[in-house]
Amino acid sequence: MQNKLMKMGKGKIVIGVLGTDVHVVGYQLLAAAVERAGYAVTRLGAANAQEDFVKAAQETAAHAILVSSISGQASLDARGFRDRLVEAGVDCLLYIGGNLTVGSQVDWSETEARFNGFGFDRVFPSTTTLEEAVAALDRDMAALEMAD
């Protein structure tokens, strides 16, 4: 992973909403919580293509990308995301969370496995609290620092 995190605070994070999804409430709350936790946050807003995240991660030398989606269409929108990052030479954590699939009968473990298969490091259900998300980010960033 890029340079030591301690020299630059807790790290640089890109946060945005993927695909045609235009919700912003959860995204804004998450961005604010991550900023309060001491991270430098680049906010992309709603309705972003994968390329928008990749470009922002390149420009900011991001340590993590946090993707939000509540439309239920994330399986379509997120496919190939990690591949795009690798092609662009971006080495960072990749998270996704929200209402990722259509229908309430979908088994969460299947959803999580699908997104892990897409290359996401963490997959959060819509019931995840802001505190849980930030705690996971803190743990993963600390692990990166230890690996440097």
Concerning whether 21 is annotated as a catalytic residue, the answer is yes
Measured between alpha carbons, how far is residue 87 from residues 8, 51, 70, 80 in Å?
26, 11, 27, 11
DSSP for 28-64 reads: HHHHHHHHHTT-EEEEEEEEE-HHHHHHHHHHHT-SE
CA distance 122 to 94: 7
Concerning whether 83 is annotated as a catalytic residue, the answer is no
| From 23, 91, 121, 140, the catalytic residue | 23
**CA nearest to 40, candidates 59, 21, 62, 22:** 62
Angle (nearest 5°) at CA 64 between 139 and 17: 120
- Which sequence positions are flagged as catalytic? 21, 23
